[in-house]
Structure 1
């Protein structure tokens, strides 16, 4: 099936967004030096605290953003979310690591609302568990990537988390149905699938998002520059995940129209073309 000229242009834009430099690379560029040394200077045990806080933040963000955002279709409002993120980052960055961890659920919720806003703008139903999972998937993007893997690998690898989570859960649900009888558990399985699938997906995504957040906290953990850096980096984060969301939901919209295999083949063709140009 051949894509229309408008849809092909949309896919080309999505490929540019989804294969752009990683968020970790952008963080290093923003502060003017690699972040490895800054990460090593974090207090002992900081990484464990950050990873635990990231998973909690994502869970709270889903509850506060996806289910509270107005479901009426409308164009995304990207600027408003960046302003909220900047304010949150300035407050959190002014007082060091402890305040950064306290601020993390707030900034993550703002970013999740920004992502959900894009999904809504692309015509997706925020009450649909698939859309909710797709919003969470966006936060698996942005970590360091190996350029030798090919331009398209990172995006489809991030999407693979949802497939893995669903595969594991499907086996569990099949066991439940076999033991209790599908006729008695059909309604239960539907709600269980939605809740457990999203919960498992959040666990997996938190591992990748935690790497990015650790680098962010390392960059803004110094109180002297923390406030200014916090506002700047939160704006950078929100801008990045809005771009990832726009690319992601454009691809999913086109998949619904043309089929996943058609769009992936065209995506890889466009990514390879951009890769060779760059």
Structure 2
């Protein structure tokens, strides 16, 4: 089947796939820190997964609130090159504070880092031609946090990226409809809780990797800054790839782009 995408668009799609499918944050953290994350995992408290899940859910609820109430207002500047470095610096600063206090600071530091990352994701979305005033676009920004954390229920034959999108699709549609009708007047509404819980379950996988890296005793605050820089860079890559795909889908349709992506 001949693709309707141009050579330039196919090259963009290939770049998007490279960003979205590999390497994992765990691999990058291990390579950068010079220590396997398994070492960090072994140092974590027995019930740390529960702590991570609660922190991830709280971070997603905060991110949803920011996405709905303020992202559209804050991103009215003319679309252009995204300010990735500015957001990395902010995330590094947040990570340095968290690194100084270790895992005890996760519940405080994670919502701050996530909000910084969400603003960066929205900035990238805008640079790829998205209208950040639309609630559907804002939720698309939020779902970026579900990418890069493959779960056991994902179809092994499907790409991790499209598996994540498929898993989110129903919840995103419900939340979009609810927010269009009622806004954030009922933050605990089932449609919103379902979406944030689904995203948090995937986001939590990546947060666990971040927590494991922070548990490795190396440089304290300095390592926290480095880890958070890699953390935000991971989601900036997810965002760039995601919004390249969405841009091409708007031109050629979802199925032709998916087929071209899988064969890229």
> TM-score band, normalised by the shorter chain?
0.7 to 0.9
Q: Determine which structure has more spread, i.e. the larger CA radius of gyration.
A: 1
Pairwise CA distance, 1:190? 4.0
Where do residues 263-278 of structure 1 align in structure 2 (5 Å cutoff)?
A: 263-270=257-264
1:219 matched residue in structure 2? 213
Pairwise CA distance, 1:85? 0.8
Q: Is this contact kept in 2: 1:54–1:210, CA < 8 A?
A: yes
Number of aligned residues: 251
Where do residues 73-222 of structure 1 align in structure 2 (5 Å cutoff)?
A: 73-75=78-80, 76-143=82-149, 149=156, 153-166=159-172, 169=174, 190-192=180-182, 197-221=191-215
Pairwise CA distance, 1:209? 0.9
Q: Secondary structure at the match of 1:84?
A: helix
2:35 matched residue in structure 1? 33
Q: Deviations over 1:168-223 (max 9, x none)?
A: x49xxxxxxxxxxxxxxxx9784259975454222101011112112211221356
Q: Tell me how far apart the structure 1 counterparts of residues 163 and 16 of structure 2 sit (CA, whole Å).
A: 16
- What 5-or-longer segments of structure 2 have no aligned partner? none
Structure 2 residue 16 is matched with structure 1 residue 11: no
Q: Is this contact kept in 2: 1:133–1:201, CA < 8 A?
A: no
Q: Tell me how far apart the structure 1 counterparts of residues 243 and 219 of structure 2 sit (CA, whole Å).
A: 36
2:241 matched residue in structure 1? 247
Pairwise CA distance, 1:229? 1.2
Q: Tell me how far apart the structure 2 counterparts of residues 267 and 153 of structure 1 sit (CA, whole Å).
A: 9
Q: Secondary structure at the match of 2:44?
A: coil
Q: Tell me how far apart the structure 1 counterparts of residues 209 and 226 of structure 2 sit (CA, whole Å).
A: 14
TM-score (norm 2): 0.85
Residue 188 to residue 108, structure 1, CA distance change in 2 (3 Å): closer
Q: Secondary structure at the match of 2:101?
A: coil
Q: Is this contact kept in 1: 2:67–2:142, CA < 8 A?
A: no
Q: Tell me how far apart the structure 1 counterparts of residues 99 and 13 of structure 2 sit (CA, whole Å).
A: 37
- What 5-or-longer segments of structure 1 have no aligned partner? 171-186, 271-278
Residue 246 to residue 166, structure 1, CA distance change in 2 (3 Å): closer
Residue 224 to residue 101, structure 1, CA distance change in 2 (3 Å): farther
Q: Is this contact kept in 1: 2:66–2:115, CA < 8 A?
A: yes
Pairwise CA distance, 1:111? 0.9
Q: Secondary structure at the match of 1:95?
A: helix
1:238 matched residue in structure 2? 232
Q: Is this contact kept in 2: 1:73–1:123, CA < 8 A?
A: no
2:60 matched residue in structure 1? 58
Q: Deviations over 1:31-71 (max 9, x none)?
A: 22322342232123222122111111122123235624323
Q: Tell me how far apart the structure 1 counterparts of residues 16 and 145 of structure 2 sit (CA, whole Å).
A: 16
1:262 matched residue in structure 2? 256
